[in-house]
């Protein structure tokens, strides 16, 4: 089967390269990916997919699908295509989306023989307000049996974990006054922000080592001789498990509440971005994918990538068996993600060589899930157990 899959992948390779390079040359920020989403949609339509554009009201999101005449499981691949400010595709989402869309097209060629359905979700804004969050909330993954994507990286790594994350904004409002002649008439909102930072720094001694809290001051006053009447701080709070995130976030909020009480400033708490759940890898599905990489000669693809970042694929993994592995595109550990060097590596021969291997593994994993009822049942059992 892998040889047949490989032949199909090579038959569409020129189209995939064109897609990858077009998106590379037209980087768009999250929820602004009009050219990128259109390019994916046009390619999927070319290969016979039905497409729901502006899916769930998300302007640059889509759902593309092909259902064979034979009943069978629904396999989904998730395409990302948002870029970073100034850097462009420093996270490699041009190649990530191309890999997912390519895998769906290849699997579609096989479905009339083996049965089942293949679905591609175009998921904008992973770097900020991840569309997968809304898709999960709106029930997009109901009826989906497995969800997969593979992210470009320096080397191959198994699907592991990610941190649950909440993005909190603290807006303090005080009272302006002349800072020299009438300081007693003012309420310093910036002092409340600074006290919040100091309280959070004291809190760090009493949080789990895996947790992360980091923030910035978005607004801190206009002039040194005016008591700041408005100050805004934004924080990311991250933990390895969703349940602990709720507890830690409340402690962080209490730091801000205490600062407001101490200074007399009023406090408004809000979320400035969508929160992400922790990634729960389905190990049964992950093992099949890893074996399919090994069968193509990939060395050490079963190392687990330890990440302290957060991904909206985490939300998907709480409603559907999912994996989020990484595939190498350059092999140079000195090249970090979110850099121009990483961006340019997505166009190299090495990147395309490993994209082909990864597409083949994603497709063969889908085939095995469709054809092996016992495997699918094991995947479902693990997923159900993970929710308890």
What is the secondary structure of 175-232 as a DSSP string?
Answer: B--BTTT-GGG-B-HHHHHHHHHHHHHHHGGGS-TT-EEEEEEEE--S-TTB--SEEE
Q: Band of the pLDDT at 306, cuts 50, 70, 90?
A: low
What does the pLDDT look like over 318-342, one tens digit per residue?
999 999 999 999 878 788 889 999 9
**Overall residue count recorded for the chain in this entry:** 388
Give yes or no for a contact between 191 and 294, defined as CB atoms under 8 angstroms apart: no
Q: Is the pTM of this model over 0.75?
A: yes
The rounded distance, in Å, linking the Cα atoms of 102 and 194 is 49
256, 270 Cβ separation under 8 angstroms: no
Q: What integer best gives the mean pLDDT of the chain?
A: 96
Helix axes 93-114, 13-25, angle to 10 degrees: 150
Residue 331's pLDDT is: 77
Rounded CA separation 86/244 (Å): 35
pLDDT, residue 271, reads: 96
Residue 333: the pLDDT is 77
Distances (CA, A) of 27 to 81, 88, 92, 347: 8, 5, 11, 14
Main-chain dihedrals φ then ψ at residue 89, nearest 5 degrees? -85, 55
Going along the chain from its start, the domains and CATH numbers come out as 1-161+277-387 (3.40.630.10), 164-271 (3.30.70.360)
Q: What is the pLDDT of residues 38-53, one digit of tens each?
A: 999 999 999 999 999 9
The per-residue pLDDT for range 108-134, each reduced to its tens digit, is 999 999 999 999 999 999 998 899 999
- Is the pLDDT confidence value at 265 over 90? yes
| Mean pLDDT for the stretch of residues 197-204 | 98
CB proximity list for 5: less than 8 A, separation 6 or greater: 106, 110, 360, 363, 364, 367
For residue 214, the model assigns a pLDDT of 97
CB of 322 closer than 8 Å to CB of 316: yes
223-236 pLDDT, tens digit per residue, is 999 999 999 999 99
Q: Residue holding tokens 């095995």?
A: 368
For the record, the structure tokens of 128 come out as 């900020």
Lookup: tokens for 185: 């008439």
Tokens 């930072």 -> residue: 197
Cα angle value 42/150/328 (rounded, 5°):
115
Closest of 82, 114, 115 to residue 97, by C-alpha: 82
2 pLDDT tier (thresholds 50, 70, 90): confident
pLDDT the model gives residue 387: 80
Higher pLDDT, 206 or 335: 206
48 phi, psi to nearest 5 deg: 90, 20
What token pair was written down for 99? 């890999």
Helix 242-263 and helix 189-203: axis angle, to 10°? Answer: 140
Query: What is the rounded CA–CA span in Å between residue 9 and residue 119?
Result: 17
DSSP 305: P
Which residues, 6+ apart, have CB-to-CB distance to 102 below 8 Å? 9, 12, 16, 355, 359
pLDDT band at 302 (very low <50, low <70, confident <90, very high): confident
Q: How far is CA 330 from the centre of its chain?
A: 21
The answer to whether the CB of 78 falls within 8 A of the CB of 313 is: yes
Query: Around 193, how many Cα atoms within 13 Å sit in the side-chain half-sphere?
Result: 24
Average pLDDT over residues 95-105: 98
Q: Minimal CA–CA distance to 55: which of 112, 122, 9?
A: 122
Q: What is the pLDDT of residues 181-200, one digit of tens each?
A: 999 999 999 999 999 999 99
Cβ partners under 8 Å of residue 21, min gap 6: 94, 347
């Amino acid at each position: 089967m892998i040889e047949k899959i490989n032949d199909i992948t090579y038959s569409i390779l020129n189209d995939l390269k064109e897609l990858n390079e077009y998106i590379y040359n037209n980087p768009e920020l999250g929820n602004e990916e009009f050219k990128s989403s259109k390019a994916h949609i046009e390619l999927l339509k070319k290969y016979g997919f039905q497409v729901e554009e502006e899916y769930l009201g998300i302007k640059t999101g889509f759902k593309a699908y092909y259902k064979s005449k034979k009943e069978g499981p629904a396999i989904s691949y998730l395409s990302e295509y948002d870029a970073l400010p100034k850097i462009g595709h420093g996270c490699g989402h041009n190649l990530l989306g191309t890999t997912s869309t390519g895998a769906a097209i290849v699997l579609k060629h096989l479905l009339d023989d083996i049965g089942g359905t293949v679905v591609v979700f175009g998921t904008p804004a992973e770097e900020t307000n991840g569309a997968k969050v809304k898709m999960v909330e709106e029930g997009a993954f109901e009826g989906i049996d497995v969800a997969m994507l593979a992210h470009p990286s320096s080397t191959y790594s198994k699907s592991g974990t990610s941190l649950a994350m909440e993005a909190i904004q603290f807006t303090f409002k005080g009272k302006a006054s002349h800072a020299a002649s009438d300081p007693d008439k003012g309420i310093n909102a910036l002092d409340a922000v600074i006290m919040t930072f100091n309280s959070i720094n004291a809190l760090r001694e009493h949080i789990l080592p895996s947790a992360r809290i980091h923030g910035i001051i978005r607004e801190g006053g206009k002039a040194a001789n005016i008591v700041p009447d408005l100050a805004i701080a934004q924080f990311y709070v991250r933990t390895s498990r969703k349940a602990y995130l709720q507890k830690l976030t409340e402690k962080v909020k209490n730091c801000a509440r205490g600062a407001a009480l101490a200074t007399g400033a009023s406090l408004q708490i809000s979320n400035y971005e969508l929160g992400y759940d922790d990634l729960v890898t389905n190990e049964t599905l992950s093992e099949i994918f890893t074996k399919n990489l090994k069968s193509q000669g990939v060395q050490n693809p079963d190392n687990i990538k330890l990440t302290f970042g957060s991904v909206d694929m985490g939300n998907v993994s709480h409603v559907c068996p999912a994996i989020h592995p990484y595939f190498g595109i350059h092999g140079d550990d000195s090249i970090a993600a979110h850099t121009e060097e990483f961006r340019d590596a997505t166009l190299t021969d090495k990147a395309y060589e490993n994209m082909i291997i990864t597409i083949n593994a994603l497709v063969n994993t889908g085939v095995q899930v469709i054809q092996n009822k016992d495997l699918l049942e094991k995947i479902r059992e693990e997923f159900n157990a993970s929710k308890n």
